[in-house]
Amino acid sequence: MNLAIGLLGCGTVGQGVVQLAQKRADMIRNLTGTRPVIRKVLVQNPNKKRAIEATTFTYTTRPEDILHDSDIRIVVEVMGGVEHTKDLILEALRSGKHVVTANKDLMAVHGPEILKTAEENNVEILYEASVGGAIPLIRPLKDSLTANEITGLKGIINGTTNYILTQMTQTGASFAEALKEAQDLGFAEADPTSDVDGLDAARKLTILASLAFYARVRLDEVEVQGIRSITARDVQYAAKLGTVIKLVAVGSDKSGHLSLSVRPALIPKQHPLSQVSGSFNALYVEADAAGDLMFYGRGAGSLPTASAVMGDVISLMKDIQIGVSGRSAHMYMPAKHIDVSSSTPMRHYIRLTVTDEPGVFARIASGFAQANVSMETVLQQLLEDATAEIVIVTHAVEHTALRKALQSLESLTSVQKIHNVLPVESNPV
């Protein structure tokens, strides 16, 4: 018995899906009782040369050829885009078809509407591949860990920025040099804005936090800071402090108050996340019953992402075989209060350039004392032109007090520039 699948899009991920569906067809039939057969594939140019052969399917440029085909039970969306793609997915769901998507941009913005539509039409939408590539993240949060109260998420969930920061750490490359290398190797897009400015990671955090904290999270509720400001100097100072710099997505739930951020942070070398290098991804989960967990693996790529897509397809095939559907409403949750800036006290790294003159540090220390911010570590280095660079690591401090301390720095004429202010993560308890 065959189960017909329609594919929206046939780029690198789509071709990976075709390859896996064809290669593993017999194994999947043994698991589910049915064989997956891709029947139709939506593309812009059917004549374009691709790395796959259309042996079981036909190409089409008309979405309705898939959405209105009563034989197709599952629609797989790997075409990307948001608004037009949303319309196609909603039409597929309303036509009684189950949907698998790898589209993080879509689910981060329109997830609640799409999940509600799936519930109303008694079908499912699965989206494991939208976050983390081959790493199973969605299903553990949605199913395996539901008996837990999850209080925290910390993740390196963008492979491009992790590759850039890894190269800066290991080779001493500048941000521009590491970015160019990432682009040459295909890890970064020609326009890297979404990655290096933290937007890609913020979209993924929106999806993960919605599941982990049973809340409807909006993308604009995530505090976002990218990595463009990170220099070789910051990387060197981080090493002296026994840390590495990573772009970290953080979510915490304290008594129903959520705090969500994506920003570069100093990670102690004893923390498992500090060892996540290159283009790899990882998610660290803090749960009350299961304890601390870390998921690690390749976060992108044709076959890793296709692996997650096909995992969802196989799950749907099993459900179809036994007549189960309509489980997608898990993420259709009420809103919780979300703090724009975290109220959780944290240590912070501050790097600034000052005029090298008597009394400078005393004035800095006085301003910090008035803001009730204490210093844990101070590093200082003389520079040219009668200036000095000072790095301060504070003790754990709330955002309001930190802001007052920074305002005191800005008021000093001897402080020429505040280069970076970065959180310093703690080791796991």
CATH number for the domain harbouring residue 386: 3.30.70.260
Is 330's pLDDT higher than 80? no
Q: Is residue 340 part of a domain?
A: no
> How far is Cα of residue 17 from the mean position of the Cα atoms in its chain?
22
For position 257, what pLDDT does the model report? 82
- How far apart CA 300 and CA 295 sit, in angstroms, is 14
DSSP run (H or E) holding 326: none
- How far apart CA 219 and CA 9 sit, in angstroms, is 25
Statement to judge: residues 317 and 185 lie in one domain = no
Q: Is residue 429 part of a domain?
A: no
Nearest to 299 by CA among 425, 128, 80, 100: 128
pTM comes to: 0.93
- How far apart CA 188 and CA 165 sit, in angstroms, is 13
Statement to judge: residues 76 and 124 lie in one domain = yes
Name the band, by pLDDT with cuts 50, 70 and 90, for residue 93: very high
Nearest to 228 by CA among 299, 161, 154: 161
Statement to judge: residues 105 and 160 lie in one domain = no
The residues assigned a catalytic role are 204
Structural domain of residue 98, as residue ranges? 2-132+302-331
Statement to judge: residues 309 and 290 lie in one domain = no
* Cα-Cα-Cα-Cα dihedral sign, residues 310, 311, 313, 317: positive
Answer yes or no: are the C-beta atoms of 393 and 347 closer than 8 Å.
yes
- How far apart CA 234 and CA 245 sit, in angstroms, is 8
Q: Is residue 92 part of a domain?
A: yes
pLDDT digits (tens, 9 = 90+) for 16-43: 999 999 999 999 999 999 999 999 999 9
Q: Is residue 341 part of a domain?
A: no
> Which one-letter amino acid corresponds to residue 135?
I
Statement to judge: residues 358 and 322 lie in one domain = no
DSSP calls for 357-384 = -TTHHHHHHHHHHHTT--EEEEEEEE-S
Is 332's pLDDT higher than 80? no
Statement to judge: residues 176 and 78 lie in one domain = no
With pLDDT > 90 as the criterion, what percentage of the chain qualifies?
86
Statement to judge: residues 9 and 97 lie in one domain = yes
Answer yes or no: are the C-beta atoms of 242 and 425 closer than 8 Å.
no
pLDDT (mean) for 205-224: 94
pLDDT (mean) for 193-216: 96
Statement to judge: residues 12 and 112 lie in one domain = yes
pLDDT (mean) for 372-397: 96
Q: Is residue 336 part of a domain?
A: no
pLDDT (mean) for 115-128: 95
Q: Which CATH number is 205's domain given?
A: 3.30.360.10
> How far is Cα of residue 240 from the mean position of the Cα atoms in its chain?
28
Q: Is residue 119 part of a domain?
A: yes
Q: Which CATH number is 35's domain given?
A: 3.40.50.720
For position 55, what pLDDT does the model report? 85
- How far apart CA 294 and CA 288 sit, in angstroms, is 14
Statement to judge: residues 311 and 364 lie in one domain = no
Q: Is residue 338 part of a domain?
A: no
Statement to judge: residues 313 and 188 lie in one domain = no
Is 79's pLDDT higher than 80? yes
DSSP run (H or E) holding 352: strand 347-355
- How far apart CA 341 and CA 423 sit, in angstroms, is 12
- How far apart CA 222 and CA 224 sit, in angstroms, is 6
Statement to judge: residues 278 and 143 lie in one domain = yes
Name the band, by pLDDT with cuts 50, 70 and 90, for residue 347: very high
**Listed range (146-155, 185-194, 317-326) with the worst mean pLDDT:** 317-326
Domain count, the chain: 3
Statement to judge: residues 148 and 232 lie in one domain = yes
Helices 232-240 and 159-171 pack at an angle, to 10 degrees, of: 70
Q: Is residue 162 part of a domain?
A: yes
